[in-house]
Every structure is written in structure tokens, then in C-alpha cells.
């Protein structure tokens, strides 16, 4: 079963996080709390620092300064593999699957951290947590377990990647553009599953997404990043109504068209 927050501690806590590349400061003094049973949308113009924030959460060596806690454990300079062990799962902007493996084999590989080397017995069945099963059913992958991933549609590949992340039983789930390239029905199916994950399993989900309608439909809270800093944090309604946020997006669009 997937893990919720430990006691009263939030699954994710970030204090004064900064990321510099030489003299370029990409993230500046970011403070953020991600609660269990919460879907936190992170939005902002291109170059705002959203993906860099994801990297800093999933790799303890990525940030320049600041402190990061997962389930009340100080991440310190942990490797990405160690951060996964603390309860963080991440899906990336672009899918990266072993194209000659079947759907079932990919899921077995994802379960390795939980079930160990016995999974490499090809005749052995695999026990998946309910959230993984929900994704498989929502995307139709439950009917394609013996299909090689190279034969899957883009939407099914995105669904498989998410099912693989959920197979590791995270308490903090980082999603970078999970609906990119998906059809409207596929987006709705994924959105319903994500909503259920927070409500039924107590996950903290941090979502980067350019589709603001999707963010509005499923997020409990929204953080707006601009030039590496948190510009605003609030409910979906508060952020959508903010003149400051509108001005930032309007100015960014004007720069792109100039």
C-alpha cells in the first residue's frame, strides 16, 4: 500500500532552497510544503525553474543551498536512488521505456526495489499496488500486458510510465507534464486517477503542467514560479483571479511574440 505522511509531518518540506549554475541563480530561496492528500500544481512561464525544482527534490546533490525533508527525513546529499528509497517517485517530461520489454516486464522491473531479485523469474506473477492497477485499467494497459512497449500508443506509454512510478509505492509523486501529447479522454482518465490517489491513498502529488485547465480541474493548491522564485501560492481560484499572475503570463507572451 502506498504511504501517506508520517505522523503530523508533511511528506514534503522545502526550506530556503537555492540552485545556482555558476553566477546564474535558477531557484532563489524557495520555501514549500507538500501535504498528504494534496495535489499541488506548480505553474509558471517557460524558464521559471519548475523542472529544476523537480530535479532538486529528486536528487539530494542537485540543490546549491537549502534543506529538503521527505517524510520528516533530511535528504542531505542523497543520490536519486536513495531519494526513491525515502518515498519519492518521479515521472519525466519525455517517456523513457525499454522498447523491447513487454508491459508486464516493465512493471516487474519497477517493482524490483520492493520485491527484490526474485522478480527476474519470468514465470512469476507480479503483485502491484492498487494505484498502479487503476492506471493500467484507465489506459487500457491491463489488456496489453504481453505487448512490447514499442507497439504502444503515446498515451499508453505515458500511462505505463506512471504505473511504473506508482509501483514503487511513493508517498511523494513528482509529475512533469504527465498529460503532454494525450487526447482529451486520456487526460480526463489520468486526472481522475490522480485525484483518487490523493483522496484514497494520502499521496502528496506535485504536478508541473502547462495545461491550466487540467491544473484547475484537479489541483487543491497552486504555486506560481517566476524567475526562480515563488510569486504566489494559493487556491486555484485565488491564482486564476490574480492580476499579478495575469500580468506575468501576459508579459511572457508578449516577449515570445516580439
Tally of helices (H runs) and strands (E runs) in the chain: 10, 10
Report the range out of 68-77, 117-126, 210-219 with the highest average pLDDT: 68-77
Show Cβ contacts of residue 217 under 8 Å, excluding neighbours closer than 6 positions.
Answer: 191
Residue 1 is predicted with a pLDDT of 43
Q: Which of 3-12, 49-58, 81-90 has the lowest mean pLDDT?
A: 3-12
User: In this structure, is the dihedral angle defined by the CA atoms of residues 130, 119, 88 and 155, taken in order, positive or negative?
Assistant: negative
Residue 254 or 185, more confident = 185
Residue 160 is predicted with a pLDDT of 94
pLDDT digits (tens, 9 = 90+) for 48-83: 999 999 999 999 999 999 999 999 999 999 999 999
pLDDT mean over 222-240: 95
Q: Which pLDDT band, with edges at 50, 70 and 90, does 5 fall under?
A: very low
Residue 255 is predicted with a pLDDT of 56
State the SS3 of 149-193: HHHCCHHHHHHHHHHHHHHCCCCEEEEECCCCCCCHHHHHHHHHH
Residues in the chain: 258
Closest CA to 203 of 135, 136, 143, 156: 135
Q: Which pLDDT band, with edges at 50, 70 and 90, does 95 fall under?
A: confident
What are the structural domain ranges in the chain?
A: 12-257
Residue 7 is predicted with a pLDDT of 60
Res 118 pLDDT > 60:
no
- What does the alpha-carbon distance between residue 78 and residue 182 come to, in Å, rounded to a whole number? 34
CATH fold for the domain made of 12-257? Rossmann fold (3.40.50)
Amino acid at each position: 500500500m502506498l504511504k501517506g505522511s508520517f505522523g503530523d509531518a508533511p511528506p514534503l518540506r522545502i526550506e530556503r532552497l537555492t540552485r545556482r549554475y555558476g553566477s546564474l541563480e535558477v531557484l532563489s530561496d524557495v520555501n514549500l510544503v507538500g501535504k498528504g492528500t494534496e495535489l499541488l500544481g506548480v505553474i509558471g512561464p517557460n524558464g521559471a525553474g519548475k523542472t529544476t525544482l523537480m530535479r532538486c527534490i529528486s536528487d539530494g546533490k542537485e540543490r546549491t543551498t537549502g534543506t529538503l525533508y521527505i517524510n520528516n527525513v533530511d535528504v542531505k546529499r542523497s543520490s536519486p536512488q536513495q531519494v526513491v528509497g525515502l518515498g519519492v517517485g518521479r515521472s519525466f517530461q519525455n517517456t523513457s521505456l525499454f522498447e523491447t520489454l513487454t508491459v508486464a516486464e516493465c512493471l516487474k522491473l519497477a517493482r524490483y526495489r520492493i520485491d527484490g531479485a526474485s522478480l527476474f523469474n519470468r514465470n512469476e506473477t507480479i503483485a502491484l499496488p492498487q494505484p498502479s492497477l487503476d492506471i493500467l485499467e484507465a489506459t487500457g494497459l491491463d489488456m496489453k500486458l504481453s505487448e512490447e512497449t514499442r507497439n504502444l500508443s503515446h498515451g499508453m506509454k505515458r500511462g505505463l510510465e506512471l504505473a511504473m512510478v506508482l509501483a514503487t509505492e511513493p508517498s511523494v509523486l513528482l509529475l512533469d507534464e504527465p498529460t503532454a501529447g494525450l487526447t482529451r479522454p486520456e487526460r480526463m482518465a489520468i486526472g481522475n486517477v490522480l485525484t483518487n490517489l490523493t483522496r484514497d491513498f494520502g499521496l502528496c502529488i506535485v504536478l508541473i503542467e502547462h495545461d491550466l485547465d487540467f491544473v484547475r480541474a484537479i489541483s487543491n493548491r497552486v504555486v506560481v514560479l517566476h524567475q526562480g522564485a515563488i510569486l504566489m501560492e494559493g487556491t486555484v481560484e485565488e491564482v486564476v483571479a490574480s492580476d499579478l499572475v495575469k500580468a506575468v503570463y501576459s508579459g511572457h507572451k508578449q516577449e515570445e511574440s516580439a
